[in-house]
Amino acid sequence: MFVNYIIKFFNFQAYPSKIFARMFQIQLRYFQYILSLAIFVGILISSTPLISSCFVGLTLVWLTEMLSGQFDINSDKYYVILILLLLSFSSVSFKNLFSSVEPYESFIIFLVVLMIYFLFQSDVNIFKIGNSIFITVITFLVNGYIVDPFFQENIFYIAYIFLLLLFLKTLATYFNVQFGNFQFFFNFFLIFIVFNGVSTFYDYKTVNIFIGGTSIALFTTFITHVFTKLRFEYEITSKLSNQIYVFDYMFAFVLSLYLVDALNVVNGLF
């Protein structure tokens, strides 16, 4: 009776994997908001290590949530998620334990290990392998970018933008502002206005701010759309909750900072 109530409440088929995946999603959402709150605390106490660890934590939680939509966490496939999380975190480990290793060397090692690992996963289809490699690679790169010295120097600047975006995006989700035909315009102009607005309080040239803001807004909007399209094709969590759009957008923002090299752009170092 209790299982039937849960199935009816969450509007699932009689498929326990979907129930556990949805409940797991909700728990991860709490972690994401707690880590975001911890970033705010880190700003108040001026703690760079706390903010950095929260950014890495948010990246890993996002990866966990994405992988749980493809692999049944209620089966022995949970170890696949654990292995991929460790591989994604390895970019941070390499930075701290093997500082003499160049980033491209650690990336090559990571790719080789990842490919070898999936060669022995005979019961995982090619679609899951492709998606898993894609999201693990980008989280590996983002984690390495977060612990980069230049990112650390500008971490409070990034944290201000991140928290303001999170607040406005959450507010828009609550009032269903973003789910119209103009959602792409909303995603673009939200980050464009916030990035340019916060950057004006710093000693950056206007032209550099405009170039950086436009580039990041374009990349973030496109990447968010890619994440959404991927999620609709997942086997276990094909139905999306509104909060998923929020943290897809937030991770896309951090990934865009890396891809656009925005910190160098606004500092005029491009």
pLDDT at 38: 95
Per the structure, the complete domain to which residue 148 belongs is given by 2-266
What pLDDT band is residue 262 in, cutting at 50, 70 and 90? confident
pLDDT at 130: 81
Higher-confidence residue of 80 and 1: namely 80
Other beta carbons within 10 Å of 24 = 18
pLDDT at 82: 83
Checking if the pLDDT of 192 tops 50, the result is yes
Q: What is the mean pLDDT of residues 74-98?
A: 78
Q: Distance of alpha carbon 246 from its chain centroid, rounded?
A: 10
Task: Quote the CA–CA distance of 249 and 157 in Å, as a whole number.
Answer: 18
pLDDT tens digits, residue range 136-145? 889 999 998 9
Other beta carbons within 10 Å of 125 = 10
Checking if the pLDDT of 1 tops 50, the result is no
| 3-state SS, one letter per residue, for 77-137 | CHHHHHHHHHHHHHHHHHHHHCCCCCHHHHHHHHHHHHHHHHHCCCCCCHHHHHHHHHHHH
Tell which phi-psi region holds residue 261, choosing left (phi > 0), alpha (psi between -120 and 50) or beta.
Answer: left
Nearest to 90 by CA among 69, 63, 67, 127: 63
What pLDDT band is residue 9 in, cutting at 50, 70 and 90? very low
Burial 139-176 (b: 16+ CB within 10 A, else e): bbbbbbbbbeeebeeebebbbbbbbbbbebbbebbeee
Nearest to 129 by CA among 84, 88, 92, 85: 84
Q: Distance of alpha carbon 241 from its chain centroid, rounded?
A: 16
Q: Name the average pLDDT for the chain.
A: 80
Task: Quote the CA–CA distance of 133 and 218 in Å, as a whole number.
Answer: 24
Structure tokens at 67: 């992988």
Checking if the pLDDT of 10 tops 50, the result is no
Task: Quote the CA–CA distance of 125 and 132 in Å, as a whole number.
Answer: 11
Checking if the pLDDT of 199 tops 80, the result is yes
Structure tokens at 217: 């807004």
Q: What is the mean pLDDT of residues 49-56?
A: 94
Checking if the pLDDT of 120 tops 80, the result is no
pLDDT at 70: 77
Structural domain tally of the chain?
1
Checking if the pLDDT of 75 tops 90, the result is no
Predicted TM-score (pTM) of this structure: 0.84
What pLDDT band is residue 270 in, cutting at 50, 70 and 90? low
Q: What is the mean pLDDT of residues 113-124?
A: 73
Q: Which of 9-13, 28-32, 109-113 has maximum average pLDDT?
A: 28-32
